[in-house]
Chain A
Amino acid sequence: MKRDTQPGGFRRHHNPLTWLAWHAQNALASLGRLARQPLATLMTTAVIGIAIALPSGLYLLVDNVRELTGNWDGGSSISLFLTDDIDDRKAAVVRDTLARRSDVGEARLITRAQALEEFRRRTGFGEALDLLDRNPLPAVILIRPATFASSAADTERLAKELEQYREIALVRVDLQWVRRLEAITQALERGILVLAGLLSTAVLLIVGNTVRLEIQNRHHEIEVVKLVGGTDAFIRRPFLYEGLWYGLLGALIALLLVTLGLGLMQGPVQRLAGLYASDFQLDLLTSGTFLSVLAGGPLLGLTGAWLAVGRHLARIQPE
């Protein structure tokens, strides 16, 4: 009798092409099995999709908020009110001095006359001002910190230094809201991280449970395959591919949901931004998020299937 093996040892290495063909065949077969029960597959993948879409969508929203605070004229601004004895010429000199500092991005002078004009235009108290014998408004220099020094802490340090100038009567930092927004963003990010962790676990459990049921349904088949010499790897493979497909389909559904959701928000957000005279637009899917969802979904599916397969396949032995 012709035999492939030597006594005592087994031949276990296969031609890499055959091996690849197996995998392709397994992948397709698993996909085919999912396609044969479209409703069940759709429900499972939809749950996975929603579980992935929630944290991804929220992350994108927070990402947008962060972008917004970053673009808001360098995040913060400082108003310097000059002392009364500074005339326009001296004020311009002070402005030029400040503008030369490396941590100052932009310094704009509003002369006393300009300030009066603006006040008149904006408030409608023009007649009242006419009653005064002189312009009560100080000259103001608006400072926007350089981009590299625009964080709340940097802005505060700059403000402290500017207070030392003799020509400056009052320094007002418009910082509070930046700080709050930063804090809110950070809190939200942490919350999303926790949510993502919980929902990832949910995906693992969903896929794991689905694969477990599938293993139970195919109990007899697994027994027979073991009987005719199927290795654990051979038996495991279709289930792992099944998990992979669940994850991938879930990820695709998630991307669809996120795109739809953000798309629906685009109009109202633009209207809101318009009220603040901003042309801000929601960034839709960034390629980074796109790729991490597309890679993370299948990875979660595969892991979930692996956990289920590891626990349940060993228990099935032919008798």
Chain B
Amino acid sequence: MIRFDNVAKRYPTGREGLAGVSLQVEPGELVFITGHSGAGKSTLLKLIGLLERATRGQVWVNERNLNRLKARDVPYHRREVGMIFQDHRLLADRTVFDNVALPLVVAGMGHQEIQRRVRAALDKVGLLGKERSQPITLSGGEQQRVGIARALVSKPPVLLADEPTGNLDPELSREIMELFLQFNQVGVTMLIATHDVDLIQGFGKRIVQLREGRILHDSGAAA
């Protein structure tokens, strides 16, 4: 599903995000990416979502070589990759419903289908009663759930989460992670970047540890 071939990313500032990473993620796999801040976790996810482009090596997602993807195709690629951020990136002036509906609206989906899917997504994250609320009136955990609902509402084959529990207390973090495990059970390929090693240890999922832009340890590298 996702393949990195000796990928490096150097930012215009000179900072090295990734320094040669090869990685293969099978369809339906859930992989935790860990490491200290600056180890390259975010860069790795950004390359998959095409928020950045690799300076060396090749990134394949969904049998598509991202290096060769034209700028005008980037939006269509992003529709197949749901992204979840630590800071949620919600629109403060729109309701929870409108925030979650956004990926469907940009994809040109019909009104009724949007209604149905947004409700289903909000139901999955346990926020069905909050459709008309403004994000700002919700707690941090609830806002993160809205962000998650938005990422999965269009049923993308790939879901990325960059420090999704960064601002949450341990209990809420655990709830969010268990939510992700549920999605993974229905076949979504997931990459979750987190520095919270204690939290993910017990899940029995593959863990890729990065350090200074390289893979330090991979608990379950595909052969």
Give the residue of B64, B73, B102, B154 whose beta carbon is less than 8 angstroms from that of A224.
Answer: B102
Label chain A's interface by main secondary structure.
loop
Among A42-50, A148-156, A171-179, A225-233, the stretch that binds chain B is A225-233
Is A287 in contact with chain B by the CB < 8 A criterion? no
A229 and B51 in contact, given A7-B64, A221-B91 (Cβ under 8 angstroms) = no
| Contact code string A58-98 (vs B, CB < 8 Å = 1, else 0) | 00000000000000000000000000000000000000000
Give the residue of A220, A228, A232 whose beta carbon is less than 8 angstroms from that of B102.
Answer: A228
Among A10-18, A103-111, A245-253, A297-305, the stretch that binds chain B is A10-18
Is A2 in contact with chain B by the CB < 8 A criterion? yes
**What is the CB-to-nearest-CB distance from A297 to chain B, in angstroms, rounded to a whole number?**
30
Kindly name the residue among B76, B91, B188 whose own CB sees the greatest number of chain A CB atoms within 10 A.
B76
Q: How large is the interface on B (under 10, 10 to 19, 20 to 34, 35 or more residues)?
A: 20 to 34
Among residues 51 to 77 in chain B, which have CB atoms less than 8 Å away from a CB atom of chain A?
51, 62-64, 72-73, 75-77
Give the residue of A2, A12, A22, A227 whose beta carbon is less than 8 angstroms from that of B83.
Answer: A227
Among residues 22 to 58 in chain B, which have CB atoms less than 8 Å away from a CB atom of chain A?
27, 46, 49, 51
Is A318 in contact with chain B by the CB < 8 A criterion? yes
- Whole-angstrom CA separation of A232 from B78 in the bound complex: 13
A229 and B63 in contact, given A1-B188, A18-B110, A19-B108 (Cβ under 8 angstroms) = no
A5 and B106 in contact, given A224-B89, A318-B51 (Cβ under 8 angstroms) = no
Name the residue on A nearest B150 (C-beta): A228
Is B140 in contact with chain A by the CB < 8 A criterion? no
- Whole-angstrom CA separation of A12 from B76 in the bound complex: 8
Is A165 in contact with chain B by the CB < 8 A criterion? no
Inter-chain contacts of A231 with B (CB < 8 A): 72, 75-76, 106
State whether A232 touches B72 (Cβ < 8 A): yes
Is A119 in contact with chain B by the CB < 8 A criterion? no
State whether B78 touches A22 (Cβ < 8 A): no
- Whole-angstrom CA separation of A18 from B8 in the bound complex: 42
Give the residue of B46, B51, B91, B106 whose beta carbon is less than 8 angstroms from that of A234.
Answer: B106
Inter-chain contacts of A227 with B (CB < 8 A): 49, 51, 78, 83, 89
Inter-chain contacts of A318 with B (CB < 8 A): 51
Inter-chain contacts of B49 with A (CB < 8 A): 227
Inter-chain contacts of B83 with A (CB < 8 A): 227-228
- Whole-angstrom CA separation of A220 from B89 in the bound complex: 8
Is A288 in contact with chain B by the CB < 8 A criterion? no
Inter-chain contacts of B78 with A (CB < 8 A): 226-229
Give the residue of B51, B73, B76, B154 whose beta carbon is less than 8 angstroms from that of A319.
Answer: B51
Inter-chain contacts of B107 with A (CB < 8 A): 229
State whether A230 touches B157 (Cβ < 8 A): no
- Whole-angstrom CA separation of A55 from B93 in the bound complex: 41
Is B155 in contact with chain A by the CB < 8 A criterion? yes
Is B79 in contact with chain A by the CB < 8 A criterion? yes
Q: 8 closest Cβ contacts across the A-B interface?
A: A229-B79, A10-B76, A230-B106, A229-B78, A7-B63, A228-B103, A231-B75, A229-B75
Give me the interface of B with A, judged by CB distance under 8 Å: 27, 46, 49, 51, 62-64, 72-73, 75-80, 83, 89-91, 93, 102-103, 106-108, 110, 150, 154-155, 157, 187-188
